[in-house]
Amino acid sequence: MQDKILDISRRRGITYPSFEIYGGIAGFYDYGPVGKRIKENIENLIREFYVIDEGFMEVECPILSPEDVWAASGHLENFADLMTECKKCGAPYRADHLIGRHIGKEVEGLGIKELEEIMEREKIRCPKCGGELDRIYSYNLMFESFVGPGRDKKTAYLRPETAQTTYLAFRRLWEIGRKRLPLGVLQIGRSFRNEISPRQGIIRLREFNQAEIQVFVDPERKDTNEFGTVSKTKVRILDKNDRESNMSLADAVEGEIIKSRLIAYHLERALRLFETMGINTRKLNLRQHTDEERAFYSTDTWDVEFRSGEFGRVELVGISDRTSYDLKAHQNLSGESMEVNLEGRRFIPHVIEIAYGIDRSLYCILESCYVEDDRGAYFKFPKRIAPYQAAVFPLVNKDGIPEKAEEVFKRLKQARIFSLYDRSGTIGRRYARADEIGTPFSITIDYDTLNDGTVTVRERDSRKQERVKIGELVNRLFLNFNF
Ligand code: GAP
């Protein structure tokens, strides 16, 4: 299946490796014309969930930021993986991954000394050439750059997460949000990590797309009035002690497995969002980070994971209680107060962060929506995710039919419906091409159209066909077809 997904992905312009004509660099992918539409649809769904439903704001900040930002946040010191290299062939390895694979046990979070001890005890060698492995060292994942010329040149870094750039403007956002908590802020944009071994296509990239929401809250109220709407939802949980269970969110909070009702609420929202995107929810579970693996800034972190047939467990979103760690850190280094005054109490807000990976979500949508049947391979995308809503075909390229088809196509364009026009090959081939990229409706203009002004609308999944009047087409696409 993976080969077929990859084949459609490259051939039809969903994603493909960047810089291909120069041999490419691992960890960089382009979104082609079809993939870009899908990515945009994912981002718009995220906006609807958080900006419309939750009433959060959206911002956009630079991707390059001065060194101070990353010194304060702790990324300069802590945002690193432990790595080793083969002394003979030079192959680089992330030490914990290499050792974990070798001994069949998770060792993420162990220090250099402990990992070196295991490496020596287990006589672990380079998997490629069998050579001896070098000492383990800490490797910072941020890309370094410079701003400005000559003596004024300043070190800067490409952001490894969008979150910090949102925190920097907290004071302004507090004013703009009329000094109320919770204050939710979404940022969608690129992040960069110089991963040691980018792999698995768009699952582990060096330049990737995040949608991160920072919910600034009163530390005494990590709660929401909406919890009742999700409390009975049953979830599959893997807790930090590796215990697996099925339970309601209410029970998970009551049993103090999930630390706050606010985190539980947002875990449910994330599950619903993935379902709306077309991700197979039977393959999703919630996983709590162990004490060793939890990021340096967090007191409780949960991932929603997708169990991929191809790549195993894929982390799609991380929801963390970052406390006041980041705001405090920026207050300390910048001298700018991050305190708020709420009903006479002065405090630095805490942050519940919801950090989505867009590229990974897109991959999991592809894997979940992939179908093969008698017509071949195609994607059963939800209409909201499909790159194009309709494909327009003239049955033949003569007798005034192409002109009529172009007129129909123009109507769809004027109604701002993303559509395709395809005039080449048999109708069967054109249906197959439209289905392959998940187009929900195919519209054929034929001789009857010239007589009675109707077109054939064929629905992708059921393949049912219906005659619809041209004048009613746009409304039918929008209303009757659950568009
Ligand atoms: N601000 C918190 C943060 O960045 P994270 O768990 O490191 O948390 C959030 O990243 C999400 O970003 C992940 O759940 C994942 O979906 C995505 N992500 C992280 N690293 C990635 C990479 N190298 N390539 C693609 N997506 C990545």
pLDDT at res. 483: 42
Query: Ligand 1 atom 12: the closest Cα is on which residue?
Result: 357
Contacts of 314 (CB under 8 A, 6+ apart): 203, 305, 306, 307, 308, 360, 363, 364
The residue contributing the CA closest to ligand 1 atom 20 is 204
| 301 CA closest ligand 1 atom index | 6
Q: What's phi and psi for 386, nearest 5 deg?
A: -55, 140
Q: Which of 315, 322, 364 to mutate to test the pocket of ligand 1 (most atoms within 8 A of CB)?
A: 315
Structure tokens at 3: 């080969």
Residue 1 makes CB contacts below 8 A (sequence gap 6+) with 309, 310, 367, 370
How confident is the model at residue 67, as a pLDDT?
97
Q: By alpha-carbon position, which residue is closest to atom 10 of ligand 1?
A: 355
Q: Token match 């996983």: residue? A: 287
Minimum-distance ligand 1 atom for the alpha carbon of 361? 16
Domains of the chain in sequence order: 2-72+160-369 (3.30.930.10), 80-140 (3.30.40.230), 388-480 (3.40.50.800)
Using the atom order of ligand 1, give the atom closest to the CA of residue 320. 2
Smallest CA separation from ligand 1 atom 6, residue: 318
What confidence tens digit (pLDDT) does each residue in 317-340 have? 999 999 999 999 999 999 999 999
Pocket of ligand 1 (CB under 6 A): 161, 163, 193, 195, 204-205, 208, 210, 212, 315-318, 353, 355, 357, 359-360
pLDDT at 242: 83
CA of 429 to the centre of ligand 1 (A): 39
Q: What is the pTM of this model?
A: 0.94
Q: What is the pLDDT of residue 480?
A: 57
| pLDDT for res 291 | 87
Q: Which residues of 149-163 are buried (b: 16+ CB within 10 A; e: fewer)?
A: eeeeeeebbbbbbbb
CA of 301 to the centre of ligand 1 (A): 13
Query: What is residue 55's predicted lDDT score, i.e. its pLDDT?
Result: 97
Distance of CA 252 to CAs 118, 173, 239, Å? Answer: 36, 33, 10
The predicted pLDDT at position 481 comes to 56
Q: Would you say 457 and 393 are in contact if contact means Cβ atoms under 8 Å apart?
A: no
What sign for the dihedral angle of Cα 232, 236, 241, 243? positive
Q: List, for residues 58-91, the tens digit of each pLDDT value.
A: 999 999 999 999 999 999 998 999 999 999 999 9
pLDDT at 317: 98
Nearest ligand 1 atom to alpha carbon 203: 25
Give the residue ranges of the chain where pLDDT is below 50. 483
Measured N-to-C along each axis, helices 95-103 and 112-121 cross at an angle, to the nearest 10 degrees, of 40
